[in-house]
Copies of this chain bind each other. A is one copy, B any other.
Amino acid sequence: MEPLRQLAKEKLRGKKAIAVMSAKGGVGKSLVSALLALSLRGAVLVDLDVHTMATTKLFGLEGKLHEVTKKGIEPFKLGELGVVSLGGIVKDKYVVLPGGNAGEVMESLVAYANLGDANYVVFDLPPGLGDEVLTLERLTDFFPVVVTTPSAVSVKVVEYVMRYLNERGKRPLLVVNMAYMDCGDGKVARPFGDLKNAEDLAKRYNAPVVELPIDPSLESYIGKIHEYDGVVKGKVKKELVPYLT
């Protein structure tokens, strides 16, 4: 009998849970999570990467603390979107946790979050294939959005996740982020190699693929990602969202 786990489960009941994940770091999980949550109607984004809390950096929420009411931790509001992050609890303190505690913290974060009448809960996961994934599996039957770049190392590492999810009976969607860069004049560059590795991976696991370009202008939207309306957001809306609604 674990009251916080029970509450976390009930908070998620009836909502569509989407887990943005990848064993590899730095492939764009947090960015894709943010743009996806911004593109869904009625979503709460829950940042489960308790060591980096990238969400607070993307949305300019650093140093802000969550309000806590009778209904729990009130998400930060960015238009229609709600955002919940451990950053809103610990401010700018580093989070260092021995094994097991991270899972407990994640469970409390979901249990205490006021998810209101959101239809979607988007989880931004840390890299690896550890407690975070297991903890989320305990809480809900999530839909996995697996993120990779085209690079050989990334695709190989992400294959672990695909195989794991497959064995768990899940059908993930594969996002190949930073797949290409538009150089103007119809020219396209592929700084992380061609897409063959990633596309083969998707085929092996029978997963739909969405390819997202590199947009160098993204860096200038760090801190105000909700104002970004460029090519990556467009692709997320047009190609990723339809698989999830």
Contacts and interface: CB of A to CB of B under 8 A. Distances in A.
Interface of A: 23-27, 30, 51-54, 57-58, 62, 94-103, 126-131, 133-134, 151-153, 156-157, 160-161, 163-164, 191-193, 216, 219, 222-223
Nearest to A193: B219
B51 A129 contact: yes
A177 B96 CA distance: 24
20 contacts: A23-B52, A24-B26, A51-B130, A57-B152, A57-B153, A94-B160, A94-B161, A95-B160, A96-B134, A96-B164, A98-B103, A98-B130, A98-B131, A99-B99, A99-B103, A99-B131, A126-B128, A152-B222, A153-B222, A193-B219
Given A100-B100, A131-B98, A216-B191, A223 B51 contact: no
A30 B23 CA distance: 14
What's the dominant secondary structure at chain A's contact region?
loop
A51 B23 contact: yes
A132 to B, nearest CB: 10
A54 B27 CA distance: 14
User: How many copies of this chain does one complex carry?
Assistant: 2
B52 A157 contact: yes
Contacts of A223: 152
A54 B152 CA distance: 10
Contacts of A52: 23-24, 127-128, 157, 160
Nearest to A163: B94
A129 B95 contact: yes
Given A26-B24, A57-B153, A157-B57, A51 B98 contact: no
Contacts of A133: 96
A60 B206 CA distance: 27
A192 to B, nearest CB: 7
